[in-house]
Amino acid sequence: METKRVFPQELIERKQWICWRLERKQGSEKPNKTPYAPNASRRASSTDPATWGTLDQAEASCAKFGYTGIGFVFTKEDDLVGVDIDHCRNPETGELTEIAAAVVKRANTYTEISPSQTGLHFFFHGALPEGGNKHPNTGVEMYAHSRYFTMTGNRLGNVPMTIAEDAETLAWIHRTYVEKSKPQKA
User: Over the chain, what HEC string results?
Assistant: CCCCCCCCHHHHCCCCEEEEEEECCCCCCCCEEEEECCCCCCECCCCCHHHCECHHHHHHHHHHHCCCEEEEEECCCCCEEEEEECCCECCCCCCECHHHHHHHHHHCCCEEECCCCCCEEEEEECCCCCCCCEECCCCEEEECCCEEEEECCCECCCCCCCCEECCCHHHHHHHHHHCCCCCCCC
Residue type, 46: S
- Supply the pTM of this predicted model: 0.92
The whole-number pLDDT of residue 4 equals 65
Q: Is the dihedral of CA 46, 67, 37, 17 positive or negative?
A: negative
pLDDT tens for residues 3-40?
A: 568 999 999 999 999 999 999 888 888 889 999 999 87
Whether the per-residue pLDDT at 41 is higher than 70: the answer is: yes
pLDDT tens for residues 157-181?
A: 999 999 999 989 999 999 999 997 5
The whole-number pLDDT of residue 184 equals 44
Say how many C-beta atoms besides its own lie within 10 A of residue 134's C-beta.
Answer: 14
Q: CA 3 to CA 183: how far, in whole Å? A: 49
Active site (catalytic) residues: 84, 86, 121, 141
Q: Is the dihedral of CA 11, 16, 19, 22 positive or negative?
A: negative
The whole-number pLDDT of residue 181 equals 56
Average pLDDT on 118-125 reads 98
